Structure 1
Amino acid sequence: MINMEVCANSLRSALAAQEGGAIRVELCDNLPEGGTTPSYAQIALAKKILDIQIYPIIRPRGGDFLYTDLEFELMKADISMCRSLGCNGVVIGILKADGTVDVTRCRQLINLAGPMGITFHRAFDMSNDLFKALEDIIELGCERILSSGGEASALQGAEVLAALINQAGRRISIMPGAGISAQNISELIRMTGAREFHASARKTVKSHMEFRNPKLNMGALADEFSYDVTDSRTVKTLIELANSVE
């Protein structure tokens, strides 16, 4: 069986992921920034309502993965919160300025997480040597690595992903993510041999606002009268296609 994790940008998206057959959600906020830690309420209600695994991302801001001492304290507090709420796991990733994995800080977060599972996110793709980073993350004891093979999309990085999966063996799962779609998931399975995938499976929903002030935007989005949510049918289609590959 091929397992599907969904990057859920809200509780609504997480529910759609569950309905579509995902086994796990990476719960996050601010997907245009690559995902940041969701609110306490999002995590708490997700844990109360969902039956599938919940892995909140622990990322205090967008941008790089080199964090200040204050940001690191925020990450530790968020992990403690997730543990107290009974989350199944968390998603982490910290680098040093030279592009290597910050093993010391990551180990502190993992120790704080206790029995929760650990996914290392796409900070991995920003490291200076993916194959050395792989060994560091295995030594840390993470369950899996989310990766596009260091490229803009998993399809572009498919050859590297295959090499990483070969090097990892049974020691850790390499989970392709970035641009996973119904059009490429079968090809990615054949090219990489991966057994679990990460997709947002989003669709755009138009706002029902009747009055719209044309003079300003409240943020950086070009269109503030639409938003993205996970589509349960897309999740289901991805899973069906993935498990039909021979």
Structure 2
Amino acid sequence: MSRPELPTTVEICVGDVPSALVAEAAGADRVELCADLGQGGTTPSLGAVAVTLRLLRRVGVRVMVRPRGGDFRVSAAEEQVMLADIEAIRGLPNPHDLALGVVVGAVDERGGLDLPVLGRLVEAAGPMPVTIHKAFDEIEDQFGALEEIISLGADAVLTSGAAPTALTGAERLAALRRQAAGRLRVIAGGGIRAHNVREVLARTGASEVHLRAPVDRDGREATDGDQVRQVVAAVRAG
């Protein structure tokens, strides 16, 4: 499959404000701001979001809204927390008019999308774009789920095609992108690095990739600017 004509967006998942600044300086197009990356990412503090919006100058920002680690079932109380977080994020100052959105997900007890919860979360986001995170990769019928996500009005879905990596799930990713047909953005994520990003793009036709670029710094995970630069350079070289 040939590369898309549109410029490729490189999104970096970051766990704090300094990492967001590193990602922007290294050439990323967008950051996904989370807390607790060891749990797969949870909602960052409002202070972290506010300072990120204040200090960044160029990149888009997506904020993870997930009240805890573990599974992706959402209780009634947790839904209220998520709705309150989305409302608070919408109300934050955005002095540089960065493209601000949220990242959410919810599955029901039968292993499908929790459509009532997701519908209320999308509605609460209002004009902000909404990405459905990799909870989507736990859904058995991804093609049916894709239509459900589109019907909810979500903006994008992050997926590895239900495979361990985006490269091994490339065939499924390509099929999902074809089905979406421009109605929803399919973001390829999972195991993407500088050495394989061009192959992922070529095999999936994706125009957006998502990755972490971790480095240990004083016993905690930070973002490695060199890794980000290498991925961006590989993408732009294509």
TM over 0.5: yes
CA distance in 2, matches of 1:65, 1:113: 19
Q: How many residues align?
A: 226
Structure with larger Rg: 1
2:67 pairs with one of 60, 68, 79? 60
CA distance in 2, matches of 1:17, 1:143: 23
Preserved contact between residue 2 and residue 239 of structure 1 (Cα < 8 Å): no
Give unpaired runs (5+ residues) of structure 2.
1-6, 95-99
Which residue does the alignment assign to 2:35? 29
CA distance in 2, matches of 1:146, 1:3: 13
TM-superposed CA distance for 1:128, in Å, is: 2.2
One-letter amino acid of the structure 2 residue matched with residue 62 of structure 1: G
Which residue does the alignment assign to 1:211? none
TM-score normalised by length of structure 2: 0.92
Deviations 1:95-153 (A, max 9, x none): 11112111211111111111111111001101121111111111111111100111121
Which residue does the alignment assign to 2:146? 134
2:52 pairs with one of 42, 46, 56? 46
Which residue does the alignment assign to 2:159? 147
1:237 pairs with one of 230, 233, 238? 230
1:95 pairs with one of 107, 128, 131? 107
Which residue does the alignment assign to 1:222? none
CA distance in 2, matches of 1:159, 1:84: 40
Secondary structure in structure 2 of the residue aligned to 1:72: helix
> What's the C-alpha RMSD, in Å, of the aligned pairs?
1.2
Moved over 6 A (4+): none
In the alignment, does 2:220 pair up with 1:227? yes
1:114 pairs with one of 115, 126, 129? 126
1:19 pairs with one of 20, 25, 28? 25
CA distance in 2, matches of 1:199, 1:234: 10
1:167 pairs with one of 174, 179, 196? 179
Give unpaired runs (5+ residues) of structure 1.
208-225
1:69 pairs with one of 71, 76, 79? 76
